[in-house]
Amino acid sequence: MTPDAVARLEETRTAIARAARDVGRKPGEVTLIAVSKTKPAEEILPVLEAGQIDFGENYVQEAKEKWPALRERFPQARLHMIGPLQSNKAREAVALFDVIQSLDRESLAKELSREIARSGRAPQLVVQVNTGAEPQKGGVLPAEVDGFLTLCRVHYGLSIAGLMCIPPVEDQPSPHFALLKKIAARNGLSMLSMGMSADYEAAIQLGATHVRVGSAIFGARG
């Protein structure tokens, strides 16, 4: 029998704690983001009831349909935007998400700055880095991150919490995680969102503070 999502959640928490301890880190230094994209509210509910707080969604519209009702019951839940964000969705994203992990271009920085000033609500902002320089993937190229961070901070007055990456599927992930950590360190950033279901233990070994785990908890996506 396939274990349910709550059992898989506990297995993932145990593996995260073990990976952290293996490199002399405290398990509490690593935040698990349960990636609930494409999953209906009824499948997310047991995971919330099991004490999971942080969740990741890819699309503003899908999150708008699921999360207001769930948050009425679980106001402590924290929602992370981990998919590509269109600039014209900035207003909705700022209203709904606690963390936006896909800041990757000036037009989006401009709209987020405008909306944060207008609404007074300031989600944590994370810059996505395209460590593999993949043309089909969003993210700032590694050589351009320092300049982009300066632009966000100085020109648009944004507070940047950290960096995020999604390594190419055909590559060993560890060099990408090491690169992200190096870029973050020289820019004084402490949050490193890296590692997914297949590679989060390697990411933890290389300093991840947030891991994004979907299929290892919820099973294959529908």
Confidence at residue 3, expressed as pLDDT on a 0 to 100 scale: 60
Which residues of the chain are under the pLDDT cut of 70?
1-3, 221-222
Confidence at residue 1, expressed as pLDDT on a 0 to 100 scale: 33
Q: Is residue 222 part of a domain?
A: no
Confidence at residue 110, expressed as pLDDT on a 0 to 100 scale: 98
Confidence at residue 220, expressed as pLDDT on a 0 to 100 scale: 78
Q: Is 27 exposed, middle or buried (0-12, 13-18, 19+ CB in 10 A)?
A: middle
DSSP-based three-state secondary structure for 72: helix
Tell me which residue range forms the domain holding 82. Answer: 5-216
Q: How far is CA 80 from CA 33, 57, 140, 143, 163, in A?
A: 8, 6, 19, 26, 13
Q: Is residue 205 part of a domain?
A: yes
Q: Is residue 78 part of a domain?
A: yes
Confidence at residue 221, expressed as pLDDT on a 0 to 100 scale: 63
Q: Is residue 42 part of a domain?
A: yes
Q: Is residue 97 part of a domain?
A: yes
Cite the beta strand spans of 6-58 per DSSP E.
31-35, 54-57
Check which CATH number belongs to the domain holding 203 and give it: 3.20.20.10
Q: Is residue 80 part of a domain?
A: yes
* Full-model pTM: 0.95
Q: How far is CA 40 from CA 68, 188, 218, 221, in A?
A: 13, 38, 11, 11
Q: Which amino acid is at 113?
A: S
Q: Is residue 188 part of a domain?
A: yes
Q: Please state the domain count of the chain.
A: 1
Tell which residue, 166, 162, 146, has the closest CA to residue 154. Answer: 146
